[in-house]
């Protein structure tokens, strides 16, 4: 297996140092990115630190978009080696990487996850449609043939079958892959059928939707404190807090491992990480960390991460991605344009 494609000397030159000095400068792998992938990657990080002779990597939850920006800043010890993402890299992000000299990237698909709308388990069960969710979060809604500022403050104003309860949605910020996926799978997919003139993804800023940062654990805590609140986050956080939280059904489908993996649950997305190939052979342990993450012991159908809430890929797809990563197949712009 080719472990790195750009020489250590080239990496060193990018930061004005010899390759030996670069290796001495940073002995730890640096990982950034998605808050949704964070608990899975953190598990691998801890296992890697405990079972190998390498220093435990440093991992930060910066959001998918924030991680991509850091990752694509360039090559060198001041930039991350790996970024996690709860949606695929955008062509515009790929272009920025190329412009900044990050020209050799390996893409890894690890599994899937559902985006849930969770509430306190003390509430009555909640059944929502994507159209109702759209009407709750959209900055403007159609009324009498015109787009007006969203007037809805209670759920039963949207539909009389919904509870007489204040709408308060605690959700991810614009840097989050969860936010990107939510906008695409809930808002874009239903806007036309709900009377919007075109695809619509503008989320209201009047305090009904609360940007709650990249720490999903804080959203969980706020739901426990406010029974009216509904949190938007990854299925894995629901699994971790199933004793106190309950998820709404969406379009009549409950989020479960089975409904997400079989693509029955309508708000599901893929989980990824991206490797800066130029850093392999310079920052110690990248190859070994990646191999551990992609191993069936972690992401296979009986893998350790499944217990943490990861939804595994079908066996054939998982084997294909493991081979792509082992061979360090270069990501191309055309891969992202489909």
Report the largest interatomic distance among the alpha carbons of the chain, rounded to a whole angstrom.
69
Q: HSE-up of 226 (CA within 13 Å, CB side)?
A: 14
Structure tokens at 147: 């787009």
Q: How many CB atoms lie within 10 A of CB 128?
A: 20
Q: Looking at residue 4, what is its pLDDT?
A: 38
Higher-confidence position of 6 and 74: 74
For residue range 219-243, list pLDDT tens digits in order: 888 998 899 999 999 898 898 899 9
Statement: residue 22 has pLDDT above 60: no
Higher-confidence position of 147 and 307: 147
For residue range 152-170, list pLDDT tens digits in order: 999 999 999 999 999 999 9
Statement: residue 262 has pLDDT above 70: yes
DSSP state of 193: G
For the chain, state the CA radius of gyration.
21
For residue range 33-66, list pLDDT tens digits in order: 998 899 999 999 999 999 999 999 999 999 899 9
Q: How confident is the model at residue 217 (pLDDT cuts 50, 70, 90)?
A: confident
Structure tokens at 309: 């809430």
Could you give the 3-state DSSP secondary structure of residue 82? strand
- What average pLDDT does this structure show over 5-17? 44
For residue range 308-322, list pLDDT tens digits in order: 889 999 899 999 999
Q: Looking at residue 17, what is its pLDDT?
A: 39
Distance between CA 206 and CA 192 in Å, rounded? 23
Q: How confident is the model at residue 338 (pLDDT cuts 50, 70, 90)?
A: low
Backbone angles phi, psi at 309, to 5 degrees: 110, -5
Statement: residue 212 has pLDDT above 80: yes
- What average pLDDT does this structure show over 79-85? 97
Q: How many CB atoms lie within 10 A of CB 262?
A: 12
End-to-end CA distance of the chain: 28
Structure tokens at 205: 């800023």
Q: Which residues pair with 30 in a beta bridge?
A: 58
- What average pLDDT does this structure show over 204-218? 88
For residue range 185-199, list pLDDT tens digits in order: 999 999 989 999 888
For 140, the enclosing helix (H) or strand (E) is strand 140-143
328 CB contacts (<8 Å, ≥6 apart)? 1, 2, 3, 4, 5, 104, 106, 275, 277
Q: Looking at residue 1, what is its pLDDT?
A: 40
Statement: residue 16 has pLDDT above 70: no
What percentage of the chain reaches a pLDDT higher than 70? 93
What global pTM score does this model have?
Answer: 0.77
Characterize 15-28 residue by residue with b for buried, 16 or more Cβ atoms within 10 angstroms of its Cβ, and e for exposed.
eebebeebbeebeb
Q: How confident is the model at residue 331 (pLDDT cuts 50, 70, 90)?
A: very high
DSSP state of 203: B
Contact 87, 177 (CB under 8 A): yes
């Amino acid at each position: 297996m080719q472990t790195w494609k750009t020489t250590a000397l080239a990496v060193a030159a990018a930061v004005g140092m010899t390759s030996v000095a670069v290796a001495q400068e940073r002995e730890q792998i640096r990982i950034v990115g998605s808050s949704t992938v964070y608990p899975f990657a953190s598990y691998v990080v801890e296992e890697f630190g405990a079972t190998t002779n390498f220093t435990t990597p440093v991992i930060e939850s910066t959001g998918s978009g924030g991680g991509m920006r850091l990752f694509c800043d360039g090559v060198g010890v001041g930039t991350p080696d790996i970024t996690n993402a709860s949606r695929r890299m955008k062509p515009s992000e790929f272009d920025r990487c190329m412009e900044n000299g990050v020209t050799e990237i390996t893409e890894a698909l690890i599994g899937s996850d559902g985006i849930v709308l969770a509430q306190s388990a003390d509430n009555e069960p909640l059944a929502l449609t994507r159209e109702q969710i759209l009407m709750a979060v959209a900055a403007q809604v159609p009324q009498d043939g015109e787009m007006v500022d969203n007037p809805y403050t209670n759920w039963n104003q949207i539909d009389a079958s919904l509870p007489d309860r204040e709408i308060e949605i605690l959700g991810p910020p614009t840097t989050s892959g969860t936010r990107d996926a939510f906008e695409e799978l809930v808002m874009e997919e239903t806007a036309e059928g709900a009377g919007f003139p075109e695809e619509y993804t503008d989320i209201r800023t009047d305090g009904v939707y609360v940007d709650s940062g990249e720490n999903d654990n804080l959203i969980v805590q706020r739901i426990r404190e406010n029974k009216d609140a509904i949190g938007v986050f990854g299925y894995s956080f629901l699994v971790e807090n199933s004793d106190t939280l309950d998820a709404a059904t969406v379009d009549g489908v409950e989020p479960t491992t089975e409904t997400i993996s079989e693509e029955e649950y309508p708000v599901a997305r893929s989980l990824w990480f991206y490797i800066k190939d130029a850093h392999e052979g310079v920052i110690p342990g990248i190859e070994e960390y990646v191999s551990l993450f992609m191993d069936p012991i972690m992401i296979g159908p009986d893998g350790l991460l499944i217990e943490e809430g990861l939804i595994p890929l079908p066996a054939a797809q998982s084997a294909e991605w493991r081979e792509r990563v082992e061979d360090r197949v270069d990501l191309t712009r055309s891969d992202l344009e489909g």
